[in-house]
Amino acid sequence: MDKIKFATVWFGGCSGCHMSFLDLDEWLIELAQKVDVVYSPFVDIKHYPDEVDLCLIEGAVANEEHLEQLYDIRKKTKILVSFGDCALNGNVTALRNLHGEPDKTLELSYKSLATLNNIPNFDYKKIARLIKKVKPLHEIVKIDYFLPGCPPDAKRIKYFLEKLINKENPVLEGELLKNG
Amino acid sequence: MSVKTFSIDGQIISAKEGQTILEAARDAGIFIPTLCHFTGLTNVGACRLCVVEIGNSPKLQPACTTKVIEGMEVKVNTERLKEYRKLILELLFAERNHQCSVCVANGNCELQNLAIKLGIDHVRFEFRYQNYPVDISHELFGIDHNRCILCTRCVRVCDEIEGAHTWDVAFRGANAIVITDMNQPWGESESCTSCGKCVLVCPTGALFKRGVSVAELQKDKSHLEFLIQAKVKKQWIR
């Protein structure tokens, strides 16, 4: 059997889901027999390749770069998975939505609730602008599967990947379906 | 007392006269999801999770407020009901902030448990992201309206069991919130006896004991069930 082309992506999240992925420990060696990691924060590849079979996306869509990348990834990927609570419902990343516009969030985090007293001059040629409202992935593109948890524990990730690699339908139930 | 015989999903059930469909179903060990119902408190049919199909009527009825009638044919688990119940829960999740990862009740929440039980893996509605107030003016307890699902259990337990009627509901629709006394800070309420029954009866992390952090809130309902049994049935047994 040919190895499947596997990618993981990190958007607006704390990377906890990726840390949890590393908790798969020795099973990662088994996984490496079945997949080629073609794009991931774990590997040094700059561009998302064409024809990816399976991609896990951690984090919510929080800035213009995420937004652009998400459309691109959807076009180039067969099976797209919302990986963790931020990706599937915004979670902590989306808490800034409660305060309205992004400028308000910057003011809260750099001025009123911080020891700094000014908002840094961000160079928007180098860093992406925040979008108005943080959104879960499925509000923007079609998502094929949802893997909840903050973070999803390694057991859940393993179950999910085993099913998808074997071209079966992962169905989460009970404890495996718990958010948070 | 006469006995009413009816059916749930084809199974013949005997109910006592005056029993609701929900009570008869629970006695027979049949699961119907609920959030606003709490045994011993008046049923108000607020959450609509317990809706059931009766006979060929296209209209759904809440099992918690519908009394059993001789010969009625009730369905509690059809695909249509399952879909509606999921929609109701998803609407609750979309209305306010119910992010489990930063909630005191994470792991001890009836809303979270029900979402797991009904198989909800994501919310199909757009989240509203409205900022509701948090009141921690009371020295022992706090209320986070972002976590409130307006089940009104706190209103009913305070009125019917404690007899204080500190809690009530103000405003309408998605702006509705539970209030203390004349919509003043909880800490300034004159009628509140600080008994804590509202905190115990709350299904989510909306009402909490001050000082608990994420996933630390334990709500031991057995003491509350004892008090309700004593008050309603005059039975002082644990």
List pLDDT tens digits, range B109-142. 999 999 999 999 999 999 999 999 999 999 999 9
CB contact under 8 A, A178 and B130: no
CA pair distance B163, B57, nearest whole angstrom: 39
What CATH number corresponds to the domain at position B92?
3.30.70.20
Size of the A and B interface in Cβ pairs below 8 Å = 72
CB contact under 8 A, B116 and A175: yes
Q: Do B13 and B91 belong together in one domain?
A: no
Its sign, for the CA torsion B45, B48, B54, B58, is positive
CB contact under 8 A, A148 and B121: yes
CA pair distance B201, B220, nearest whole angstrom: 9
User: pLDDT class for A142, splitting at 50, 70, 90?
Assistant: very high
Residue B149 phi, psi dihedral angles, 5° rounding: -110, 10
Query: Range of B101's domain?
Result: 83-233
User: pLDDT class for A1, splitting at 50, 70, 90?
Assistant: low
- Tell me what the mean pLDDT of segment A135-155 comes to: 97
CA pair distance B134, B142, nearest whole angstrom: 7
Using DSSP, state whether B65 is helix, strand or coil: coil
For A103-121, the three-class secondary structure string (H helix, E strand, C coil) is: HHHHHHHHHHCCCCCCCCC
Tokens of residue B230, six digits: 């004593």
Q: What pLDDT shows up at residue B236?
A: 84
B144–chain A nearest CA distance, Å: 14
Q: Do B106 and B155 belong together in one domain?
A: yes
- With respect to residue B238, please indicate whether it lies within any of the assigned structural domains: no
Contacts of A139 in chain B (CB under 8 A): 126
Q: Do B155 and B182 belong together in one domain?
A: yes
Would you say A128 and A63 are in contact if contact means Cβ atoms under 8 Å apart? Answer: yes
- With respect to residue A110, please indicate whether it lies within any of the assigned structural domains: no
Q: Do B92 and B166 belong together in one domain?
A: yes
How much is the pTM? 0.94
Centre a 10 Å sphere on the Cβ of residue B5 and count the other Cβ atoms it contains. 12
Classify residue B93 as exposed, middle or buried by CB count within 10 Å of its CB (0-12, 13-18, 19+).
buried
Q: Do B221 and B121 belong together in one domain?
A: yes
Tokens of residue A47, six digits: 């561009």
In B177-206, the residues whose Cβ lies within 8 Å of chain A are: none
Q: What pLDDT shows up at residue B232?
A: 83
Tokens of residue B132, six digits: 């509701």
- With respect to residue A159, please indicate whether it lies within any of the assigned structural domains: yes
CA pair distance B18, A26, nearest whole angstrom: 61
| Number of domains within chain A | 1
Q: Do B57 and B93 belong together in one domain?
A: no
| Per-chain mean pLDDT for chain B | 95
What CATH number corresponds to the domain at position A35?
3.40.50.700
- Least CB–CB distance from A180: residue in B106, B119, B122: B106
- Least CB–CB distance from B122: residue in A89, A97, A99: A89
User: pLDDT class for B189, splitting at 50, 70, 90?
Assistant: very high
Residue A83 phi, psi dihedral angles, 5° rounding: -105, 95
User: pLDDT class for A115, splitting at 50, 70, 90?
Assistant: confident
User: What would the DSSP string read from start to end of A69-108?
Assistant: HHHHHHHHEEEEEEESHHHHH-GGGGGGGGG-SHHHHHHI
Q: Do B62 and B122 belong together in one domain?
A: no
A94–chain B nearest CA distance, Å: 8
Asked whether residue B2 carries a pLDDT value surpassing 80, the answer given is yes
Would you say B105 and B204 are in contact if contact means Cβ atoms under 8 Å apart? Answer: yes
Q: Do B134 and B27 belong together in one domain?
A: no
Q: Do B199 and B138 belong together in one domain?
A: yes
In B42-71, the residues whose Cβ lies within 8 Å of chain A are: none
Would you say A51 and A5 are in contact if contact means Cβ atoms under 8 Å apart? Answer: yes
Q: Tens digit of pLDDT for each residue in B25-84?
A: 999 999 999 999 999 999 999 999 999 999 999 999 999 999 999 999 999 999 999 999
Q: What pLDDT shows up at residue B221?
A: 85
Q: Tens digit of pLDDT for each residue in B210-235?
A: 999 999 998 888 888 888 888 888 88
Q: Do B117 and B70 belong together in one domain?
A: no
Would you say A61 and A137 are in contact if contact means Cβ atoms under 8 Å apart? Answer: yes
Q: What pLDDT shows up at residue A76?
A: 98
Tell me which of A4-13, A169-178, B84-93, B108-117 is least confident. Answer: A169-178
Q: Tens digit of pLDDT for each residue in B138-156?
A: 999 999 999 999 999 999 9
Tokens of residue B166, six digits: 């500190």
Asked whether residue A114 carries a pLDDT value surpassing 90, the answer given is no
CA pair distance A3, A53, nearest whole angstrom: 10
Query: Range of A167's domain?
Result: 4-97+131-177
Would you say B184 and B135 are in contact if contact means Cβ atoms under 8 Å apart? Answer: no
What CATH number corresponds to the domain at position B16?
3.10.20.740
Using DSSP, state whether A15 is helix, strand or coil: coil
Contacts of B126 in chain A (CB under 8 A): 139
- With respect to residue B186, please indicate whether it lies within any of the assigned structural domains: yes
DSSP H or E run through B228: helix B222-233
In B119-148, the residues whose Cβ lies within 8 Å of chain A are: 119-124, 126-127, 129-131
Q: What pLDDT shows up at residue B223?
A: 83
- What single letter denotes the amino acid at residue B95? E
Q: What pLDDT shows up at residue B92?
A: 97
DSSP H or E run through A165: helix A154-165
CA of residue A166 relative to chain centroid, distance = 22
CA of residue A66 relative to chain centroid, distance = 10
* Cα Dmax for chain B: 54
Cβ neighbours of residue B228 closer than 8 Å, sequence gap 6 or more: B38, B39, B40, B41, B157, B161
